[in-house]
Amino acid sequence: MDYRALGHSGLQVSVAGLGCNNFGRRMDQAATDAVVNKAIDLGVTLFDTADVYGPGGLSEEQLGRAAGCRRHDVIIATKFRGQMGEGPMRSGASRRYIMQAAEASLRRLNTDYIDLYQVHSPDPASPLEETMRALDDLVRQGKVRYIGHSNFTGWMTADAHHIARAYRLTPFISAQNDYSLLNRAVEAELVPACRQFGVSILPYFPLASGLLTGKYRRGEPMPEGARLTNMGQMSGRFINDRNWDIIERLEAFAAARGKSLTDLAIGWLASLPHVGSVIAGATSPEQLEQNVSASTWRLTPEELAEVDSLAR
């Protein structure tokens, strides 16, 4: 396992991260325990969850129990901002809500600190300075070690950097966004901003909800029980002729090198210098092993250029 510093910080994280959005939803405690313990054994340190996963915080609860006595061997990243109950007081990025959400996550995770606390999405109702001042207070109190954001744009990343510098606040060190060989929108503005301001990208949906695993085939029935199968009409966001064309080109590229489509999807991201850790979910130890193995492939500059052409 390789480890990298997140942004301009000393926090070292495993290149292969584990997305925990299946905990409490598709996985019970026993299945969560098996995957978490296998991940730690394989050298995975970054475990990414959120208060809204589960639902109702169940993912955090199961992760906290699974980490148990191995808590100090892992980096727990969680998020706030989503709706955790009825009414305007149970969501957002205001100072009032952040303090409440952090305490609730600490209780569910059964820990006294959060390694990486992330704004799940921008909150237009709360000034970014207010959000960052509240997060800075949590860091100074020792309840949070580092902070990150998710689903921010390039200009928001720049704005956050200047706010932190102007008021000497804790800066964001990570940006978690949808990023894969089928969705490269972040490369237009977010990636350049992150490079400029010392922020690492944490890609989520690196396998495009499973479309980059090779288990879906053009013109063939959808696999029973698979994520995209259960999405119904919403699966059209991923399943279309443009994506099939890209997938078939990429699959041929990977096969010529004795690799799978999953190897390429994760290995490509792991080969990019602006990526800190690739956040991929797993519902079994076997699936986790495949993801970790895929994260060890480092494409050459020539291969990166060819993949860039094939996936553009």
Query: Catalytic residue positions?
Result: 53
Burial level of 199, CB count in 10 A (0-12/13-18/19+)?
Answer: buried
C-alpha distances out from residue 293 to 71, 284, 288, 308, Å: 24, 14, 9, 22
Which residues neighbour 307 within 8 Å (Cβ) at sequence distance 6 or greater?
181, 250, 253, 264, 268, 299
**CA distance linking residue 139 with residue 148, whole number of Å:** 12
**CA distance linking residue 208 with residue 223, whole number of Å:** 15
Burial level of 157, CB count in 10 A (0-12/13-18/19+)?
Answer: buried
The DSSP output letter for 189 is T
Q: How many Cβ atoms from other residues are within 10 Å of residue 302's Cβ?
A: 8
Return the SS3 of 117.
strand
